[in-house]
Structure 1
């Protein structure tokens, strides 16, 4: 690269950075409501019970079952059985979507509560139950599955206006991540082939790490200019096309939950924005967001053998789940347009 070319490249990068910063300030990070600040209130008795149930799920998935993927196929099967049994215990009708990957059958598990008023409009709450190679996956993603199971338990006796699905996905982790063998890709592609009207998808991903220490939170540039450096919040993350869903979800959360929260609707190319099952739904043209503690941008045990159940903050996770119950109820229960 000659000198003139290098100067032109640097200038182009500077212009792009300035453009991104302006865009971020206007549309990517501006969210309704205000994040909770200050001390957290005491746990309610119900939040304490939620915390205990979340712990039970994580201990089973990441403690007793442990690493669960195609390399540990029996554990992956045991995890699927556990998730399916817990959904059935809620009284939810459960179906299985099977696919053959590397000569072995893998399953997505779907629990359905039919809509009472507009059943053709579908809201999906999803989480992947597999873990990355070499890790028991307590935070990634037993916490997301535990949150999914608790939300299913809390909605099983209700009659949502829109159809509500609780879906546990397989094969989210490498080497399947963002590939044709990713469980949520199978699922989202099938939904599109059937012409289903999915109006919102929430991916529950790596949700159990929180810290009140300054500089405990990292970000990909340029987001580090706009968000706090203390990793004590839950994040609502979407692509630009899902901006309305991000804003709706975090706005509802902030009205009901006294817990720190941040939101962003950014280009998919930004590191971290598409790092879960909502990405598959974007590929199929559906709006989707990720609810997360931001995973490797905060959690030092991400994809490590040390991602064990004792690392999880179950009390703060219970507050997040309680707040998400209100978010889900608003998405499935209020009459009004949803979508990108």
Structure 2
């Protein structure tokens, strides 16, 4: 009996450690003094422009893809950012990332990015006009509230197939350029699908059976995903986003073998040895119209999307206060 009890206690202790490393149920709440409000209507306008007027914006329609880059460049410039295009060529075609820089030129860099291309001929409202809209409105906040540390907001091209996991990804070019330049990166945060929310029971699914014991069955939260090695960064981002408002924030640190953990631009920063996380509505684990023609602007929740952007701005504040 004593041996059984000892074994049971050991297993329970290991489970608690695993939960602590994976889910981070306990963390110190960060106090953020002021988080400016983000306009849901402005977010909606950006998403509609990208997913409807500039649809499709992919390798299927390079003219629209370039028009989307120009739109983002114009919006970034209006915020007062130092804006630059990172051009590169793949298979004879020219592509560009659009970069908005804030804060001092030197010091450890915070990178926040989102891809502006869409899958084939789909509208790509949630995937990923939502992330780009958030990036544009975040640029507006940074223009009005300049950070004390260097920040780059990057709108990436070529995240979707046929480029995904290939060197032609825009984020691969950006991450490689930082490493080649010897730039220190304190954190990269990818905004990957941040507009789909649901309060319906069982609206949230998961890649591993039993995860509903640790996470909600409703898709009413935003998730922060990272590797085990980025545990402390996940904890900090989660605490900052939680402090910004009432939107539930959940996190998971995991191996990339779990489907979805590395399904965005952050994987290219991992490849260069940088800490990187993904902020997401969990994509196909929640949104039934992932990579489908029904991924349209009118289906997204712009009020909660605004809270996501406010949470990311809180991350910037905490980062700047280090």
* Alignment TM-score > 0.5, same fold: yes
1:60 aligns with 2:49: yes
1:33/1:254 contact within 8 Å kept: no
1:145 aligns with 2:139: no
SS in 1 for 2:108: strand
Instruction: Work out the CA distance in 2 between the residues paired with 1:201 and 1:92.
Output: 19
Distance 1:120-1:330 versus aligned 2 partners, 3 A rule:
same
In structure 1, the partner of 2:93 is 104
Q: How do residues 192-203 of structure 1 correspond to structure 2 at under 5 angstroms?
A: 192-203=179-190
Dislocated runs of 4+, deviation >4 Å: 18-23
1:255 aligns with 2:243: yes
In structure 2, the partner of 1:289 is 277
* Cα displacement (A) at 1:63: 1.1
Greater shift after overlay, 233-242 or 72-81? 233-242
- What root-mean-square deviation, in Å, do the aligned CA atoms of Structure 1 and Structure 2 show? 2.0
In structure 2, the partner of 1:325 is 313
1:113 aligns with 2:107: no
Greater shift after overlay, 141-150 or 105-114? 105-114
In structure 2, the partner of 1:126 is 113
- Under a length normalisation based on structure 1, what TM-score does the superposition of the two structures give? 0.85
* Cα displacement (A) at 1:33: 4.4
Distance 1:21-1:178 versus aligned 2 partners, 3 A rule:
farther
Could you tell me which runs of 5 or more consecutive residues in structure 2 were left unpaired when the two chains were aligned. Answer: 1-11, 30-35
In structure 1, the partner of 2:22 is 28
Correspondent of 1:267 among 255, 258, 262: 255
In structure 2, the partner of 1:81 is 70
1:31/1:251 contact within 8 Å kept: no
Greater shift after overlay, 75-84 or 236-245? 236-245
Query: How many pairs were matched up?
Result: 304
Instruction: Work out the CA distance in 1 between the residues paired with 2:14 and 2:285.
Output: 20
* Cα displacement (A) at 1:159: 3.3
1:219 aligns with 2:213: no
SS in 2 for 1:192: helix
2:254/2:261 contact within 8 Å kept: yes
In structure 2, the partner of 1:278 is 266
Could you tell me which runs of 5 or more consecutive residues in structure 1 were left unpaired when the two chains were aligned. Answer: 1-17, 36-45, 336-340
In structure 2, the partner of 1:39 is none
Instruction: Work out the CA distance in 2 between the residues paired with 1:180 and 1:89.
Output: 31
Instruction: Work out the CA distance in 1 between the residues paired with 2:119 and 2:148.
Output: 36
* Cα displacement (A) at 1:23: 6.0
1:112/1:163 contact within 8 Å kept: yes
- Under a length normalisation based on structure 2, what TM-score does the superposition of the two structures give? 0.90
Instruction: Work out the CA distance in 1 between the residues paired with 2:295 and 2:304.
Output: 17
Instruction: Work out the CA distance in 2 between the residues paired with 1:250 and 1:190.
Output: 28
